[in-house]
Amino acid sequence: MILDAAIPLFVEQGFKGVTTRLLAQKAGVSEALLYQHFPSKEALYSEVQEVLCASSPHLSSHLSSLPPSAETLVWVLYVAARFMIDPPKNIDTSPLFPRLMLQSLMEDGEFARLHTELRLGDITQVVRRSMEAARADGAMGEGGPEGIPDHLLFWFGHHVMAMVHLMQLPEKPILDYPEDRTQLINFVMCYVLRGMGMTDRALKKYYCPMELHQRFADNFRLDLR
């Protein structure tokens, strides 16, 4: 109950703007009871961070089982694009999460930093190893385009996906993206993979939207029809 009340408040007013009195009022408890559960506002905010930033055991296990390859690189980026641009309705993701990320970025960045470390740490390692494997078999050019380090190539691709997601947050999207989210993901994936240096031949071989769509449904036990 307290966490459910706290998250929207932190989204709306940020960490600095929320008081324990307001938290208690929204949760329908006294400040004394609030302090019994959380000794400080910082402790409550820390709990909110842990809940929203905790990595998925299923996703972590799945990622750790993947061999480094160009195919894995495409798959991991596709999974990231799906969750950011067209999240499945039957997966429990908080609609307040991106707004809390924005609030964090406007303050001290602690929430955003924790999310990056806990949820994206596994992904970055898989992507970097797969980029090395993709170069070894000729699926990507030697070295990043214009000498860009591999870890930045991944983050730039991630930022593109994240920004596309943010532009869709208002009831009326900021930009006129295709209403068909499958088409939008295809555009973003091709843009990101080419930007990372994947060859046209490898793109045609490994980026097969319908197969990735079905694989996503199978791995995450979804009915995407």
What tens digit of pLDDT does each residue of 49-77 get?
Answer: 777 766 666 777 777 789 999 999 999 99
Radius of gyration of the chain (CA): 20
What's the confidence (pLDDT) of residue 222? 52
How far out from the chain centre does Cα 179 lie? 21
User: Which of the following CATH numbers is that of domain 2-51: 1.10.3720.10, 3.90.1150.10, 3.90.1300.10, 1.10.10.60?
Assistant: 1.10.10.60
pTM value is 0.80
Where do the H-state alpha helices sit in 54-180? 57-64, 70-85, 97-106, 110-136, 150-166
| pLDDT reading at 180 higher than 80 | yes
What is the mean pLDDT of the segment spanning 14-28?
82
Supply angle C-alpha 180, 181, 182, rounded to 5.
90
Residue spans of the domains in the chain: they are 2-51, 54-219
Comparing 1-10, 83-92, 115-124, 187-196, which segment has the lowest mean pLDDT?
83-92
**Each residue's pLDDT tens digit, 99-146:** 878 888 888 888 888 778 877 777 888 999 999 999 999 999 877 777
* Averaged pLDDT of the chain: 84
DSSP 163-177: HHHHTT-SSS-SS--
Q: Are 100 and 52 in contact (CB under 8 A)?
A: yes
What's the confidence (pLDDT) of residue 137? 92
Phi, psi (deg, nearest 5) at residue 215: -65, -40
CATH of segment(s) 54-219: 1.10.357
Rounded percentage of the chain residues whose pLDDT exceeds 70: 91
